[in-house]
Amino acid sequence: MLSATGLPVIEATSFVSPKWVPQMADQVEVMKGIGRKPGVSYPVLTPNLKGFQAALKAGASEVAIFGAASELFSKKNINCSVEESLQRFEVIMKAAKEAGVPVRGYVSCVLGCPYEGKVAPEKVAHVAKRLYSMGCYEISLGDTIGVGTPGSMIEMLEAVSKEVPVNALAVHCHDTYGQALANILIALQMGISVVDSSVAGLGGCPYAQGASGNVATEDVVYMLHGLGIQTGVDLSKLMDAGAYICRTLNRKTSSKVAQANCKL
């Protein structure tokens, strides 16, 4: 359904061990089962070489790697230090280059960490720079626990844009504290033109029980279209996809636009 909305990139699944993320255990079937729309990219997460090889075998044509700006988060989330993870990623980058597969790099905890608290903008810039110099075509900066505000977003982007050109940056804002759209607006004003979001605001926050996580694609698109910015996305088709997944999951949408529209 998302493939029909005009979205240019849809992150399809994750080639992580099902032991850690059971939800993504059907990664191969999902990859093989989707009807790929021409012109749409379907990147998949590949945390290590094994995942990368499995992804390629399942037909992936773009992958993503996931670093962190916080040492503690890196250790708790992927069981190694930031430096160790970057070395792991170099191996993937090499294989990806040989296979001609583009790689997107993520940096998590860019505006705060659930364990360390405040994260230095310079640390974010350092990790982003490493990923970019390794060959990632784009670096997505993630406010993993949604604690960022326009203040910390500006500070962080100023540091990162000194190391990575702004046209290779994306923002991945969580709406746990309601700040996502304001943070995205600031990022746009700083020259960023790639925004990650999730239909219906799917995905809660594992660090704040019951709180929201990803920003809703519908709400982002509503704001961008209101600003006269093109996205190529059909908002009503997007809302259909959101309605579908919420019905299936038996949960309410986290998108305010979707909530407002279905009740008028």
Partner 1 sequence: MGNVPTTVKHCLSYEQLIQDYPWLKRWLQEEKTITGHEYPDFVKIVEVGPRDGLQNEKEIVPTGVKIQLIDMLSGTGLPVIEATSFVSSKWVPQMADHSDVLRGIQRAPHVRYPVLTPNMQGFKDAVAAGATEVAVFGSASETFSKKNINCSIDESMLRFEEVINTAKEQQIPVRGYVSCALGCPHEGHIEPSKVSEVAKKLYAMGCYEISLGDTIGVGTPGSMLKMLQSVMEEVPAHALAVHCHDTYGQALPNILTALQMGVCVVDSAVAGLGGCPYAQGSSGNVSTEDVLYMLHGMGIETGVNLAKVIEAGDFICNALRRETNSKVAQATGRTL
Nearest to 110 by CA among 163, 154, 68: 68
Q: Which is closer to partner 1, CB of 14 or CB of 179?
A: 179
Q: Which is closer to partner 1, CB of 50 or CB of 252?
A: 252
Classify residue 37 by burial, with Cβ atoms within 10 Å: 0-12, 13-18, 19+.
middle
- Cβ 253 to partner 1 shortest distance, Å: 11
- Cβ 20 to partner 1 shortest distance, Å: 19
Nearest to 142 by CA among 62, 42, 218, 214: 214
Q: Which is closer to partner 1, CB of 93 or CB of 156?
A: 156
Q: Considering the candidates 109, 113, 136, 205, report the single residue annotated as catalytic.
A: 205
Residues contributing to the site for partner 1 (CB under 8 A): 146, 148-152, 154, 175-179, 181-182, 184-186, 189-190, 205, 207-212, 216, 219, 222-223, 225-228, 255-257, 259-261, 263-264
- Residue in this structure with the two tokens 């296979």, named with its chain if needed: 99
In whole angstroms, give the CA distance from residue 90 to residue 27. Answer: 23
- Cβ 34 to partner 1 shortest distance, Å: 29
Tokens of 49: 């070489």
- Cβ 189 to partner 1 shortest distance, Å: 7
In whole angstroms, give the CA distance from residue 256 to residue 142. Answer: 22
> Is residue 253 helix, strand or coil?
coil
- Residue in this structure with the two tokens 């079937």, named with its chain if needed: 29
Q: Is residue 109 annotated as part of the catalytic site, yes or no?
A: no
Contacting residues for 71 by C-beta, under 8 A, at least 6 apart: 81, 82, 116
Taking a C-beta distance cutoff of 8 angstroms, is the pair 253, 242 a contact? Answer: yes
Q: Which is closer to partner 1, CB of 51 or CB of 213?
A: 213
Catalytic residues, by residue number, are: 205
